[in-house]
Structure 1
Amino acid sequence: MSHPKAMNLRFPDPAQRSAIEAAARQEGVSLQEYILSAAYARATAVEERFLDAFRASMARSGDAFAEEAGTAESGDGRRSAELQARRDLEEQQERGHAA
């Protein structure tokens, strides 16, 4: 039976490796476990941002259908809501790239 191989952790920057090792020691976990936990946390955060954007999109879609029924805001109000939604999405994307 074969044994799983350890992750190959190479860091071109020794200071970066030292900082990550120190953070792992402070958490009381191995370097591998610390890196995997951080990757999982980041993926979960990305998923949550996606779901938030999806929920907002669904709400806007609901508003659009309501407007067709004559219960939503005027054309000017809709346009400003669309522009605000676009700004919100662009801000989320910028924050996602920064993470």
Structure 2
Amino acid sequence: MSQPKAMNLRFPDPAQRAAIEAAARQEGVSLQEYILSAAYARATAVETHFLEAFRASMARSGGAFAEAAGASGTDRDQERRTEELAARRALEEEQERGHAA
């Protein structure tokens, strides 16, 4: 297995490199560690923003769905299912009595 290579850091702007090196020195870490930690912080910030937006979207959708379900009469649907189940049980009991006779 080959040895891992060091990160290749190229900066087209020398002033940008100097600013990042100064920030890394101020933090007391290497240039590579500073850049990787900044990239990780950016990625987690994007993830956090996405998850917050997703939760807000789910809350809006859930509220809209609840309103639509209330307006469509889900109680009536539940009552109809209960009646259908009762009718099916009655029919099955009748059929069982017929087979027993």
Instruction: Compute the TM-score of the two structures, normalised by the length of structure 2.
Output: 0.67
Higher relative contact order (CA 8 A, sep 6+): 1
1:32 maps onto 2:32 in alignment: yes
Instruction: Compute the TM-score of the two structures, normalised by the length of structure 1.
Output: 0.68
1:56 maps onto 2:56 in alignment: yes
State the one-letter code of the partner of 2:7. M
Q: Which has the larger radius of gyration?
A: 2
**Percentage of pairs with the same residue:** 87
Aligned positions, number: 70
Q: Hey, what's the Cα distance between the residues in 2 that align with 1:59 and 1:40?
A: 28
Structure whose residues are more often helix by fraction: 2
Structure 2, unpaired ranges of 5+: 72-101
Residue 43 of structure 1: how far off its partner (Å): 0.2
- 4+ residue runs over 4 A deviation: none
RMSD: 0.9
1:43 maps onto 2:37 in alignment: no
Structure 1, unpaired ranges of 5+: 71-99
